[in-house]
Amino acid sequence: MSSRYSAPSFTQAATSSGGGCLSGYLLPPLAVVCVGAVLIFFALGSTNPPVPVEIQSRGTPLTLSPVFTPEVQYWAGRIQVWAAAVGLDPNLVATVMQIESCGDPRARSRAGAMGLFQVMPYHFAAGDDPYAPDTNALRGLDYLKRSLEAALGDPRLALAGYNGGIGVVSQSEIAWAAETQRYAYWGSGIYAEASSAASESLRLQEWLAASGVSLCRQAHDRLGINP
């Protein structure tokens, strides 16, 4: 993400009703189930923020294309969950991860962008761990979704907006920064080939040769992927 982005707002809706687990009028068997669920939740806790329940229940995710590098394929299952959570094509999500970090969860840019989706610090809420994959993904993909909406569904423009700020979506491409033009070129080509049932992406190979090899090598070592 670019430092020119405007910080998105993140809101969490909470609803309650008389039939929840904390209701004082539940029958004893249901109360036992609720207490048991709470105990299981804490027993299975992890260092990363849990994936919200609503993310886990939104249908069957689309299959991730095989064109992406092994470092991105490492995250295939999580990519599908994250994509389903925000209503994005997992191949578009994987394209952004490919270019931003090549799957390195500890990646950091000179501008201060962090993690898998290279999210700038001001996109995080107080108490967030910017490098936690679930948190980084939900913050970054919120912005990607808003960029896609501003681009009226055009993935090339959405990718440009992710890199250069949503404001570039309405600008002439001549006015885009050179970095944003390159980002749109790489990303749109990779995504088009990933979406076409291709077994490999020539644009991805071109990106690797131009600038991506060292990034992917770093991710490869970080993830401990066997050669």
Hey, which residues are catalytic here? 100
Angle between helices 133-150 and 155-164 (to 10 degrees): 120
Coil, strand or helix: which one is 137?
helix
Sign of CA dihedral 52, 56, 58, 61: positive
CA 118 to chain centre: 10
Report the half-sphere exposure of 75 (CA within 13 A, side-chain side).
29
Furthest-apart CA pair in the chain: how many Å? 67
**Facing residues of 119 across strands?**
114
* Amino acid sitting at position 51: V
Question: Tokens in use for 177?
Answer: 């920064």
